[in-house]
């Protein structure tokens, strides 16, 4: 223990000061205020809406503020079948999002083409062909609990990131 805290003043300060890394502090803020983009492609979007609504309440995880524009969002939940017509649009939307940005691939179609895997002439076999995916949520469609677990997995991933260290501390 540092000598600064080993006196009467230090004992008082211990109750009101939190010592942590700046990275951890930023990650704590980022992971608990993920703003997803209002963006649904198919039936998985219905489950995503159910997850956001009162019963499952995505807001408990700080993820309920569905943004109507990619410029203000940091999470893209690809909920549904990615058709070839839609794929370039998804890529554009992803590129419009500010860094740092995350993608959850929700449901079998977005993961790997889903039921369109053999005869799907118009379906992209997985959204990871065009954008980098952080978390895959399996299911057809996934239950709201599954999406919440995917979100919590992403939050753990964000909590372990070291943005400042990677950006400013060279050869660390």
Partner 1 sequence: MLNSIDKRVVELLNANLPEAKAVLKEVTVGHGSVTVSAEKILEVCQFLKQHEELKLRTLQVITGTDYPTVSEIEITYVLCSLEKNHELLLKVRVPRSKDVSDLNALPKVPSVVSVYAAANFQERECYDMLGVNFTGHPDLRRILCAEGWEGHPLRKDYVPAEKYLDMVINPAHKVNTEDHFFGKKLKEQMDNPKLVSWSWKDDSETTEESAGE
- Of the residues 37, 75, 124, 148, which one makes contact with partner 1 according to CB under 8 A: 124
Q: Which is nearer to partner 1, 130 or 164 (CB)?
A: 130
Q: Which is nearer to partner 1, 16 or 118 (CB)?
A: 118
Q: How near is the Cβ of 130 to partner 1 at its closest, in Å?
A: 7
Q: Which stretch binds partner 1 (CB under 8 A): 15-23, 24-32, 33-41, 115-123?
A: 115-123
- Of the residues 70, 126, 142, 150, which one makes contact with partner 1 according to CB under 8 A: 126
- Considering just the CA atoms, what is the radius of gyration of the chain in Å? 20
Q: Which is nearer to partner 1, 9 or 117 (CB)?
A: 117
Dihedral class, residue 12 (left if φ above 0, else alpha if ψ from -120 to 50, else beta): alpha
Q: How far apart are the C-alpha atoms of 153 and 159, rounded to whole Å?
A: 10
Q: Which is nearer to partner 1, 55 or 119 (CB)?
A: 119
The site string for partner 1 over 63-102 (x = CB under 8 A, - otherwise) reads --------------------xxx-xx--------------
Lay out the sheet containing 102-106: strands in order across: 75-79, 102-106, 135-137
- Cβ neighbors of 106 (< 8 A, separation 6 or more) are 44, 47, 48, 77, 78, 79, 80, 137, 141, 142, 147, 150
Q: Which is nearer to partner 1, 63 or 123 (CB)?
A: 123
Contact 78, 128 (CB under 8 A): no
Residue numbers at the binding site for partner 1 (CB under 8 A): 83-85, 87-88, 112-113, 117-126, 129-130
């Amino acid at each position: 223990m540092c000598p600064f805290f080993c006196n009467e003043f230090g004992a008082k300060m211990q109750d009101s000061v939190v010592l942590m890394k700046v990275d951890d502090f930023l990650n704590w803020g980022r992971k608990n205020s993920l703003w997803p983009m209002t963006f649904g492609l198919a039936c998985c979007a219905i489950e995503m809406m159910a997850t956001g609504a009162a019963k499952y309440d995505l807001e408990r995880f700080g993820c309920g503020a569905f943004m109507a524009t990619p410029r203000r969002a940091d999470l893209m939940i690809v909920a549904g079948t990615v058709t070839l017509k839609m794929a370039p649009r998804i890529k554009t939307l992803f590129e419009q999002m500010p860094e740092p940005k995350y993608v959850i691939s929700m449901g079998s179609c977005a993961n790997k083409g889903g039921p369109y895997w053999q005869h799907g002439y118009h379906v992209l076999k997985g959204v990871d062909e065009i954008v980098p995916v952080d978390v895959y949520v399996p299911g057809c469609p996934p239950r709201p609990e599954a999406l919440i677990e995917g979100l919590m997995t992403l939050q753990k991933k964000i909590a372990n990131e070291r943005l400042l260290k990677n950006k400013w501390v060279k050869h660390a």
